[in-house]
């Protein structure tokens, strides 16, 4: 990546893995397994972010949603490879990888903007897809690093 696109001021976000007991927020729709907030780039710039991963929600989604999908979509001989720990590890890397990449960008005419503003309604889907694939890439990278260091 060209250095022009790298973030200069990186603030390490704390990662909290919690068990969700009550959920008294203004919840509509599905419960996410994790959140990395705030989304407002101005607040992120001033205060940083906080990453929260809901372990018991992750376990429930894995058991009641992902295992039935795996049962329908993955061959019987490969289903023994479907594990909660792998799913949960990827959730953590997905969340970490939300922070990778530029949030504030410079437009061709020299104006400052944000990825969210420029991508508009596509931002959320593209951001989630990026976090998924970069999370997987990072896990593969670290596995290869570990294999290299073990072999040395
Ligand atoms: Zn995400």
Instruction: Compute the distance from residue 33 Cα to the ligand 1 centre, in Å.
Output: 9
In this predicted structure, what is the pLDDT of residue 11?
67
Instruction: Compute the distance from residue 110 Cα to the ligand 1 centre, in Å.
Output: 30
Instruction: Compute the distance from residue 47 Cα to the ligand 1 centre, in Å.
Output: 20
In this predicted structure, what is the pLDDT of residue 27?
64
Note down the domain range covering 112. 3-151
In this predicted structure, what is the pLDDT of residue 10?
66
Low-confidence ranges of the chain (pLDDT < 50): none
In this predicted structure, what is the pLDDT of residue 62?
96
In this predicted structure, what is the pLDDT of residue 55?
95
Ligand 1 ion: Cβ-proximal residues, 5 Å cutoff? 128, 131
Instruction: Compute the distance from residue 117 Cα to the ligand 1 centre, in Å.
Output: 18
In this predicted structure, what is the pLDDT of residue 84?
97
In this predicted structure, what is the pLDDT of residue 151?
60
What pairing do the DSSP bridges indicate for beta strands 34-37 and 15-18?
Answer: unpaired
Instruction: Compute the distance from residue 106 Cα to the ligand 1 centre, in Å.
Output: 24
Instruction: Compute the distance from residue 27 Cα to the ligand 1 centre, in Å.
Output: 17
CA distances from 52 to 32, 44, 96, 133 (A): 10, 15, 11, 20
Q: How many domains does the chain have?
A: 1
Q: Compute the chain's Rg from CA coordinates.
A: 18
In this predicted structure, what is the pLDDT of residue 122?
96
Tokens at residue 134, please? 């970069």
């Amino acid at each position: 990546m060209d250095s022009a696109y790298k973030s200069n001021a990186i603030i390490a976000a704390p990662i909290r893995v919690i068990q969700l007991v009550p959920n008294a927020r203004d919840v509509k729709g599905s419960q996410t397994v994790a959140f990395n907030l705030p989304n407002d780039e101005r607040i992120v710039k001033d205060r940083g972010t906080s990453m929260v991963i809901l372990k018991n929600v992750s376990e429930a989604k894995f058991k009641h949603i992902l295992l039935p999908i795996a049962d329908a979509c993955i061959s019987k001989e490969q289903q023994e490879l479907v594990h909660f720990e792998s799913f949960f590890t990827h959730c953590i890397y997905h969340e970490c990888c939300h922070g990778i990449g530029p949030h504030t960008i410079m437009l061709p005419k020299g104006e400052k903007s944000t990825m969210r503003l420029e991508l508009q309604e596509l931002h959320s889907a593209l951001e989630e897809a990026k976090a998924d694939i970069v999370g997987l890439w990072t896990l593969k990278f670290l596995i290869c690093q570990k294999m290299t260091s073990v072999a040395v």
